[in-house]
């Protein structure tokens, strides 16, 4: 009789763990694989002349492709070219170089004392 109940507990534990791993697969592993595939497709579709953003935050223009290396031209100086691994490209697109109006600084008035507080301190000093 005890072996039947032990077998039932074992089976419920296995089902519980299987259900847990199934949920983890659909919440974590599957979406990550999907993102990795999208990034790999984007990196594979890059061609000469594309503006790219590297994982280091540097923008450049692809001037040549050799195996799994991109030759990237940096800045306005046409003589600066660096080889970069294909996996170091984060996205395709040119930087936004428009100048936007800076927001005015916010003044925090909570730290300033009111006149009444100064008078209290002055009265204490006089005594």
What would the 3-class secondary structure string for the chain be?
Answer: CHHHHHHHHHHHHHHHHHHHHHHHHHHHHHHHHHHHHHHHHHHHCCCCCCEEEECCCCEEEEEEEECCEEEEECCCCCCCEEEEEHHHEEEECCCCCCCCCCCCCCCCHHHCCCHHHHHHHHHHHHC
How far apart are alpha carbons 45 and 39 in whole angstroms? 10
Residue 79 CB-half CA count within 13 A: 0
Between CA 83 and CA 10 the distance in angstroms is 56
Confidence band for 95, pLDDT divided at 50, 70 and 90: confident
**Could you tell me which residues are beta bridge partners of residue 74?**
none
Q: Mean pLDDT: which of 4-8, 36-40, 114-118 is highest?
A: 36-40
Lowest average pLDDT, out of 5-9, 48-52, 111-115, goes to 111-115
18-70 tens-digit pLDDT: 999 999 999 999 999 999 999 999 999 999 999 999 999 999 999 999 999 99
Question: Where residue 2 falls among pLDDT bands split at 50, 70, 90?
Answer: low
- Tell me the whole-structure pTM to 2 decimals: 0.60
Indicate the pLDDT class of residue 8, thresholds 50, 70 and 90.
Answer: confident
Residue 121 CA: distances (Å) to CA of 10, 45, 110, 115: 75, 71, 18, 10
Query: Whole-angstrom Cα distance, residue 55 to residue 70?
Result: 14
């Amino acid at each position: 009789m005890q072996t039947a109940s032990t077998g039932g507990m074992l089976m419920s534990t296995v089902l519980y763990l299987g259900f847990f791993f199934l949920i983890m697969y659909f919440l974590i592993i599957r979406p990550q694989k999907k993102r990795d595939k999208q990034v790999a497709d984007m990196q594979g579709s890059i061609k000469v002349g594309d503006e790219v953003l590297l994982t280091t935050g540097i923008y450049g223009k692809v001037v040549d492709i050799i195996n799994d290396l991109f030759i990237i031209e940096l800045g306005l100086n046409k003589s600066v070219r660096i080889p970069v691994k294909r996996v170091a490209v984060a996205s395709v697109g040119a930087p936004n170089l428009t100048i936007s109006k800076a927001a005015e600084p916010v003044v925090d008035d909570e730290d300033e004392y009111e006149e009444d507080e100064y008078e209290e301190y002055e009265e204490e000093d006089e005594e």
